[in-house]
Copies of this chain bind each other. A is one copy, B any other.
Amino acid sequence: MARWQPHASERLVVAALELFEERGYENTTVIQIAERAGLTKSTFFRHFPDKREVLFGGGAVSGLLVEGIDAAPAGAGPLEAVAHALEVIGAEVFTSDRREFGARRSAAIAANPELREREALKGLRVTASMTDALKRRGVPDLAARVAAELGALAWKIAYERWTDAANGDTFGELARRTLAEVRAAGAVC
């Protein structure tokens, strides 16, 4: 038998999300989260650098986006490369079994300014990563920044649609469609 109960950080994430839903982020203490997960404050901060990060830990996303852009066919334009990356994310991270969790997580984040702030920072990082990846493909600086920004916007909207979706649309499909709409809207401005 294992010495400790396994999946400590997953347990912390679940406990945190439950408590945030029950009593709100700011009325929840790190100690309470740790206790619900059968752990202590020390252990919490060993798994997450701060209280907010417990809802943002699975940060493989940024790396996958970069890989997705790098792996896009050489002839693809900047926005096509971004579309390719979004489909990678959809296949690897935003799988249908995580849809409900994603929706609960989004609701918790939307309900609290501190969590929205952290989400905004993550958004900046993702955009910066995409910009760099596009520049490595030879896309000129400004075009790369614009494409990354539009990609991030499409991602945000697609994520909203995915978590709300009553039908079984894949994140990848939604993202592709949304990016096309964003592109069309951009052409009109």
Contacts and interface: CB of A to CB of B under 8 A. Distances in A.
Nearest to A156: B145
Nearest to A147: B189
Contact of A185 (B116, B123, B146): B146
A143 B186 CA distance: 7
Given A117-B120, A120-B120, A121-B117, A146 B150 contact: yes
A10 B75 CA distance: 54
Query: How many interface residues does chain A have, given as a range?
Result: 20 to 34
Contacts of A123: 120, 124
Given A121-B121, A150-B189, 20 more contacts: A78-B189, A79-B189, A113-B121, A116-B121, A117-B120, A120-B121, A142-B185, A143-B185, A143-B188, A143-B189, A145-B153, A145-B157, A145-B185, A146-B150, A146-B182, A146-B185, A149-B150, A150-B186, A186-B189, A187-B187
